[in-house]
A and B are shown apart, each in its own frame.
Chain A
Amino acid sequence: MDPSLIFSQFLSGLSMGMMLFLIASGLSLIFGVMNILNFAHATLWLIGAYFCHSFWYLLQDFGFGMWLGIFLAALMLAAVGWLIEVVLIRRVYSRELPEQLLLTYALVLILGDLIKLTWGVDDRLIARPPLVARPVFFFGVPFDSYFIFVIGVGVLVAVGLWWFLQKTKYGHIIRAAVYSREMVGALGIPIPRIYTGVFVLGIFIAGLAGAVQAPVGSITLGMDMAVIIQAFCVVVIGGFGSLLGTFVGAIIVGEVYAFSILFWPQGALVLIFVVTAFILIVRPWGLFGTPMRT
């Protein structure tokens, strides 16, 4: 097979991986620090896409409308995330995981109905600006130009998060909280405020991911359900709470999916779950996760 076509498939897998990384990084961050498995993460991601459409609709006469819409949608969703954390999530920190899951699953249903009430059931479509409406060519192979932006945002978020977690004081506190929240609390650091900040950051990234996804295809109810499963696969493979793990896990899922479509289209989805199940059996804390946690 022509190597340029393999390269093209690799780029497809990479763009899918970056999209998954954007969704899963917030999910992993929230679970890693707060121990909250946010089942509503993908529904919030979907709301980010709807916000993006609304902003684009208002600003579509301007050339920058879509780009500004993406940023504003992420900010709006961060505000929604703050509200959810303050009103609901902080009340279940000390509860068992099943109770937290129940709450976040209830959120999926409530937010789903809110989407219907706010945006209706019609599909939404964003017309991309000419700059990213046509393909670009690498070695003669076409590639959706918008996905260059997607990959760029994915890398930017990965580097930004890495810098924040590794190089800043707040990042050090968050990393410490992953391993021992009691010790962090004992040092006089207000854990609830850290939690709120982490949740808002995680939801901001989810909003960014939803907004970045919006111009890819149509925005429609139910998209979140398909995505949340893949996002869970990513964090299981990479390891909950590990940024590097989420990044690598997302690329693995994206590339496995892309190349199985090329060589074994019938088994594309199955292979992702086979890899996930294998990791769960041999290394339950994921490739880059750690079993240590108090």
Chain B
Amino acid sequence: MKLKSTMIVLCVSALLFSVFPPNSGLAADPYHLGVNLAITGTGALYCKDGVDAINLAVKEINAKGGLLGKHEIKVFVRDTQTKPDIAVREAKDLILRDNVRTILGTYSSACAVAMKPIAQEYKVLHIAAISNSESITKDNFSPYTYQVVPNSYMQAKAVVLGVAELAKKKGWKEYVTIASDYEWGRSTQQNTVSLLKQMAPELKLKKEFWPALGETQFTSYITAIMAQKPDFVIGSIASKDNVAWMQQAEAYGFFDKIPYPGSLISVSELILQAKTLTRGLIGLCRAPFFAHLDVPRMVEFVKNFRAAYDRYPSDWAVMEYDAVYALKQGIEKAQSINSDKVKDAMKGLSIDTLRGKLYFREIDNQLSCSSYIGVVADDPKYPFPIYHDVVEVKGPDSWRPEAEIIEARKAEKK
């Protein structure tokens, strides 16, 4: 009899504990966080790191009780396959089926631009942390979309500042561009060319090359560019396309013959092409961990990321991690998980990031993050080359002036 009553007490206790866990009083709603990234397709190289960093950040936050100390974060990951139509379908599904309050995205600006109106329609926050076309936050402005990556204008400006100076020093006159034929490639190339016209009007654009997104064979582009005999080449190619392009260009001795300054060489490329990447290239990246080892959060993050995944974090990991913490800080300011309140709270908000203290610009919700230019060189501390002589071009020094954004939006309305 005694045993029977003990069993009943135990069962009832177990039931109560499962329904009302300790430390929670009555458990608060979990926070559903959507992640819409390119797990497959052209963007897969960058996005795996992004997902891993998001999971790491969520684990840390949940270990401290969740958002506001009571909302456990549940992550829902979807694969856009780097296709805008699938990105839209998955975004809708995340919102309608999984009831997510925020979507972190994504690779391919075309996917981000396609997702933006969906997030706005359903009043769900959308934080772009990898895709960086300026049009994500500049055109058809959505108050629900934030960007924690330096946008294509900021990156172009950073490149142009460096290239204009190099051109003067070296007497360069003509250049060609090669850019992937999709939203980000077009946007970056156009911004670079237009800024170069302003800052170095003596430079002449000889020819533009537009390989398709997902191109695997760059040999004809390489020989065609060499046939132009330009003084230098500006490239806007990303992810696996970038790896294929650089790998094949190196096999032609391309980089020994033609300067290729300021093209995207993120930490992913530095790691993946550790053995083959030409040393001495001048590259551009978005959030290299090694540029911010003076920030204690970054040191801690690198340590934890390496412990969890046995590799160094790429730019994409840094920015997705920052996106989660930007959201957390927005929620803390709003003291609510309501997406409308959070989006208002994030307006102009200063946040602590792995890249130091940064803020969202009110006019376009763009984070004041930096772009980084440096010389690819070996470093005894790492099993891959990193950037040396890093030049950090700060966000406020490189983003588009507010007056131009206002002008562009006026033109949009007409």
Closest B residue to A269 by CB, please name it: B212
Docked complex: A211-262 residues within 8 A CB-CB of B: 213, 216-218, 220-223, 225-227, 257-258, 261-262
Number of interface residues of A (CB under 8 A): 48
Kindly state whether residue A147 has any CB partner on chain B within 8 Å: yes
Kindly state whether residue A15 has any CB partner on chain B within 8 Å: yes
12 pairs, A vs B, C-beta closer than 8 Å: A1-B227, A8-B223, A122-B44, A142-B226, A144-B252, A217-B247, A221-B40, A222-B41, A222-B44, A223-B214, A223-B216, A261-B221
Q: Contact between A15 and B219 (Cβ–Cβ < 8 Å)?
A: yes
Partner of B244, one of A15, A218, A258: A218
Q: Report the Cα distance A183→B40, complex, angstroms.
A: 47
Kindly state whether residue B272 has any CB partner on chain A within 8 Å: yes
Kindly state whether residue A5 has any CB partner on chain B within 8 Å: yes
Q: Given A8-B226, A135-B253, A261-B221, check contact A125 B207 (CB 8 Å).
A: no
Partner of B44, one of A5, A13, A123, A213: A123
| Complex A-B, nearest 7 residue pairs according to Cβ-Cβ distance, in ascending order | A217-B244, A258-B220, A5-B227, A144-B251, A218-B243, A12-B220, A262-B224
Residues of B within 8 A of A143 (CB): 252
Kindly state whether residue A96 has any CB partner on chain B within 8 Å: no
Kindly state whether residue A9 has any CB partner on chain B within 8 Å: yes
Closest B residue to A19 by CB, please name it: B217
Residues of A within 8 A of B276 (CB): 125, 127, 133
Q: Contact between A261 and B272 (Cβ–Cβ < 8 Å)?
A: no
Q: B242 → chain A, closest Cβ, in Å?
A: 9
Binding site for B on A (CB under 8 A): 1-2, 5, 8-9, 11-13, 15-16, 19, 116, 121-123, 125, 127-128, 132-135, 141-147, 213, 216-218, 220-223, 225-227, 257-258, 261-262, 265-266, 268-269
Interface size class on chain B is: 35 or more
Partner of A221, one of B44, B223, B245: B44
Q: Contact between B207 and A144 (Cβ–Cβ < 8 Å)?
A: no
Q: B107 → chain A, closest Cβ, in Å?
A: 12
Q: B269 → chain A, closest Cβ, in Å?
A: 10
Q: Report the Cα distance A16→B221, complex, angstroms.
A: 12
Q: Contact between B226 and A16 (Cβ–Cβ < 8 Å)?
A: no
Residues of B within 8 A of A142 (CB): 226, 252-254, 257
Q: A126 → chain B, closest Cβ, in Å?
A: 9
Q: A167 → chain B, closest Cβ, in Å?
A: 33
Partner of A220, one of B212, B240, B245, B273: B240
Residues of A within 8 A of B243 (CB): 123, 125, 217-218
Q: Report the Cα distance A216→B217, complex, angstroms.
A: 8
Kindly state whether residue B222 has any CB partner on chain A within 8 Å: yes
Q: Report the Cα distance A205→B226, complex, angstroms.
A: 33
Kindly state whether residue B209 has any CB partner on chain A within 8 Å: yes
Kindly state whether residue B248 has any CB partner on chain A within 8 Å: yes
Residues of B within 8 A of A5 (CB): 223, 226-227
Kindly state whether residue B45 has any CB partner on chain A within 8 Å: yes
